Structure 1
C-alpha cells in the first residue's frame, strides 16, 4: 500500500508475514529498543548452520571449503558496497562495531595531526564519535608534544537541530577533521549532511597531498538502519555503521573510506591477512591490496556473511523486488532494489514514530526531545516525565512486557547540554517488524506507569519474559 505522498508502506498482512521470520513474536515480546539493537531473522541462523557445514578460513587454504568460504566472504563486501553505493569493495574495512570503525580512523590519522590543528564535532554525538577525539586531543597527542583542539558545535535545545552557523564558526584552516552524526540516537535529529560537507570543504585546511578542505567523518549507525545511505551523494570521506541495528547479529561494523585515503593511510592493526603474501623481510613489509590491507588477523567470517545476507533478506521481506529472491545468493544486488527496500523501511518506521510521538505527547508532564511532531527524525522517541525517573518508567514498561531503554543512550554530552539530571531519558524505537499495536501498547504502558507508579515499583518482569514458552 502507499501513503498520500506515494511512498509504499507495509500493509497489515505484509507485517504479519514479516514477523513470522522472527523468534520474538512467539514469546509475545514487544520489542521497542531497536535503536540499540534489532532482532535477527531466524533464516540467518539457518544460513549460518548451513555455511558451517563447509566452514573454513578465508585466504588461507586450497581446499574446496576454504575456496567457497572465501568466495562468500568476498562477495559480502560487494553486497555491502552496493548497499551504500560505494565504488567498490576496496573502500570498505570490517570492524567489530561502529565504535571500533571510528577509532580506526583516529589511530590511522593520528600521525598526520600537526601542532595547532583541531577536530570539530558536535554536542549531539554518540560518545563513540566524541570520546576518541577527546582522547586524541587531551591524552594521546600531548604525549608527543602536539597541541590539537577538540571543538564542539551546539544544537538547538527546542528542536534538536544542529546549529550550522556555530559549526561553521568553529571550522577554520586548521580543522583537519569534521565529525558529525548521521542521525542522533537520543534527539532523533538527522543533520543536513550536505551543509556539513560544504562547511568542511570550505575550511581551507591543507592536506598532506596538497589539496584543501577538512575531512568529513559521518557516524551513520542510526541513519544506516532507517534510511538509504549513499556515500557518493554524501561525499563523506569516512562513514561508519554497524549491522546489528539492521537485522544482523552482533559483531560487525563497517568503515567506508574514499579509496584515495585508503591507499595513503597506514593500517589500523598489523599482522595476518593485511600482509602481502610472502612479503615480510628483516628490512621491510609489504601490505596486501585493498580492502585486505585493513584486515589484520582472522576476520569475523560468519558475521560478515550473515550481515550481507541480512541486507539481501530485507529486500525479500519487504517485497522490494517481487520478481526474484536475493537471500542466499551472491548475485550482484540491484541498486533499485536497495532504494525500494530502504524507502519502505523509512516510511514504515517513520509512520510508527509519528504515531508514538502523538500518543506520548498527550501524556501530562511528558516531554519529548528533538524535532517536533511532523519533522523528519530517526525512528526513535526519547522522553522524560516530570516527577518520574526514566529508569522507573523503563522498569514499569518491562513489567508490562514492553522493552525500552532508560539511560543516556551514549549521548551523554547532549543530556548534560540540556541540563537533564541525572543524564538519562527513556526511549522507544522502531523498525521494519514493528506494528501499530506495538506503538499503542507502548504508549498505553507509559500512561499506566505515570498514572500508577507504585503499582510497578516492585513489579516482577512480565510473565512472558520471565518464563517464556519454548519456541516451536
Structure 2
C-alpha cells in the first residue's frame, strides 16, 4: 500500500479535535500526543546526563545517548560522532560559522544563494562583512541568483566558485518557492573549486540547510557527500527546541567548538595550562543540553515510522532499517506532493492570483493576489478557520529580488496529516476572500465609482 492512512495518522494528534485546519507546516508541525506522554513518562527518572552515578542519571544518559544513534541512522551517517544538537537549524549553521572562523585567510570567499532562508545568509554576511573585518581579514561573500521559476541558476553558481572558495552554502529546499536544487551538481561545483582545506582536502566545503527538505525526504548524507547538513525537529513532529548538525567526523575532530564549558571537556582534562576535549559528539555539548528535547526528537522519528507503516519502533532504541526509512519518507513525499498539486490547481482558478515557483516542489505554495495585502489574506483565512502564514518567510533576499512591495507572500504548506479536504477548505477560503473583497469594492447603486486610471466616472 503506497497511500497514507490519514485517518489513522490524525488519531495521534489533538489539533483535529480543536477544529484546526493546519496549513502552516513549513514553519512548524504539530506534535503527536505520544511525544507529550513520553516527556511525562520521563519525569520519575528526571536527572542530568554524564554527571551522576545514580540509577536515574545512568538511565537518562542511556536514553539520551541512544537518541544520537537514532538520528545518525535516520541520516545514514557513519555514527553518533557525526551528530551535534543545537536549539534549531539557525544555531547549527552559526556553529559551523564559528567553528570555521579562524580557518579563513585573506582573499577567501564564501558562496551562498539568493534563495536562502536568512539563517543561511545572515551568518555569512556577518562573518564576511562584520566579524572578520574586525580581525583584519578580507573574505568575500558571493551570492548565486535564481531564475524566473525560482530555480537556482547553477551556471551562475559555478561561475562564483573558484580556488579561493572555502565554503558553499545552499538550501536543500526553498521555504519560499519550494524548489529543490540538485545537490549532486552543487557538490560537483564545490569540488571543482579545489580549495586546500586545513584537513588536506582540495575542495570547497558544502553546507546544506535541510530544514524544508528533511520533513518529506529520506536524507542520506553519505550519498549526498555533504560536509555539513542542518535541520530542525520542530518541522518533523517534535516539540520546539532541538536542531541537528551533521558534519563529517574529520571536520568535527579538527574544528574548534562553538560553545565552551562543562561536559565538552575530557574527564579530568582541565589544567591551568591545557584543556582536553571530550570524545565526539560530546565535544559539542557544552553545559546541560536539552536532554528531554533530544530524546523526544529522536523518538519522533521512530514514531513517524510507526504512523505510516505497521512497525513498533517508538519507545525503543534498536537499529532503524534503512529500507523502512526510505519507504516511509517516499510515501510521505508522494502524499504531500499530491496535496500540493491539488492546492496549486485550486489556486490557479482564482483570478489575479500568482503562485511563485515551479510545478514540482516541496509541499508549500506561496502566492499573492493583486490589490490585497498578503497579511490581509492570511488574516481573512484565519477568520475562516484556515491557518496560513504571510510574510517573507525569512527568505527576504528572494522576495526583494522579485521586487515585491511589501516583500511578502501568503503561504500554505502541508504535512503528512493533512487531507485533500484541508486543501479544498484552504483554496475555497482564498476564493471566498477574493470574492468578498470584490463585493466590498463594488459601487453602491446610484453612485458612480471614480476610476483613477481613466479620470472619469464609470
Which stretch of structure 1 is more off in the superposition, 411-420 or 447-456?
A: 447-456
- Residue 361 of structure 1 corresponds to which residue in structure 2? 348
Report the TM-score, using the length of structure 1 for normalisation. 0.92
- Residue 212 of structure 1 corresponds to which residue in structure 2? 202
Shift of 1:453: 2.7
Shift of 1:436: 0.3
Equivalent residues in 2 for 1:401-412, closer than 5 Å: 401-412=385-396
Shift of 1:208: 1.6
Tell whether the 8 Å contact from 2:199 to 2:254 is kept in structure 1 after alignment: no
Shift of 1:55: 1.0
Shift of 1:210: 3.1
CA offset digits 1:230-281 (Å, max 9, x no partner): 1011100000000000100000000000001011001110011100111110
CA offset digits 1:110-145 (Å, max 9, x no partner): 000000000000000000000000000110000011
- Residue 377 of structure 2 corresponds to which residue in structure 1? 393
Instruction: Provide the C-alpha distance between the structure 2 equivalents of 1:29 and 1:422, rounded to a whole number of angstroms.
Output: 28
SS of 2:193's partner is: coil
Instruction: Provide the C-alpha distance between the structure 2 equivalents of 1:305 and 1:364, rounded to a whole number of angstroms.
Output: 48
Q: 2:160 aligns with which of 170, 182, 185?
A: 170
Equivalent residues in 2 for 1:71-470, closer than 5 Å: 71-157=62-148, 159-319=149-309, 322=310, 324-372=311-359, 375=360, 377-453=361-437
Report the TM-score, using the length of structure 2 for normalisation. 0.95
Shift of 1:454: 7.9
SS of 1:383's partner is: strand
- Residue 454 of structure 2 corresponds to which residue in structure 1? none
Equivalent residues in 2 for 1:30-49, closer than 5 Å: 30-49=21-40
Shift of 1:209: 3.0
CA offset digits 1:360-398 (Å, max 9, x no partner): 1111011110112xx2x1110000011111000000000
Shift of 1:17: 1.3
Tell whether the 8 Å contact from 1:21 to 1:43 is kept in structure 2 after alignment: yes
Q: 1:23 aligns with which of 14, 30, 33?
A: 14
Tell whether the 8 Å contact from 1:86 to 1:232 is kept in structure 2 after alignment: yes
* Runs of 4+, deviation exceeding 2 Å: 453-457
Shift of 1:456: 9.9
SS of 1:35's partner is: coil
Shift of 1:430: 0.3
Instruction: Provide the C-alpha distance between the structure 2 equivalents of 1:23 and 1:156, rounded to a whole number of angstroms.
Output: 41
SS of 2:141's partner is: strand
Listed as ranges, the gaps of 5+ residues in structure 1 are: 2-7, 458-472
Q: 1:54 aligns with which of 23, 41, 45?
A: 45
Instruction: Provide the C-alpha distance between the structure 1 equivalents of 2:47 and 2:178, rounded to a whole number of angstroms.
Output: 41
Tell whether the 8 Å contact from 1:38 to 1:246 is kept in structure 2 after alignment: yes
Instruction: Provide the C-alpha distance between the structure 2 equivalents of 1:99 and 1:15, rounded to a whole number of angstroms.
Output: 31
Instruction: Provide the C-alpha distance between the structure 2 equivalents of 1:446 and 1:141, rounded to a whole number of angstroms.
Output: 47
Shift of 1:455: 8.4
Corresponding pairs, count: 441
Shift of 1:31: 0.1
Tell whether the 8 Å contact from 1:396 to 1:456 is kept in structure 2 after alignment: no
The 3 A distance-change label for structure 1 pair 211 and 22 is same
Tell whether the 8 Å contact from 1:449 to 1:456 is kept in structure 2 after alignment: no
The 3 A distance-change label for structure 1 pair 78 and 455 is farther
Instruction: Provide the C-alpha distance between the structure 1 equivalents of 2:324 and 2:439, rounded to a whole number of angstroms.
Output: 48
The 3 A distance-change label for structure 1 pair 92 and 456 is farther
SS of 2:418's partner is: coil
CA offset digits 1:4-40 (Å, max 9, x no partner): xxxx122xxx211111110110001000000000000
CA offset digits 1:83-129 (Å, max 9, x no partner): 01000000010100000000000000000000000000000000000
Instruction: Provide the C-alpha distance between the structure 1 equivalents of 2:440 and 2:180, rounded to a whole number of angstroms.
Output: 35
- When the two chains are superposed, the root-mean-square deviation of aligned CA atoms in Å is 1.2
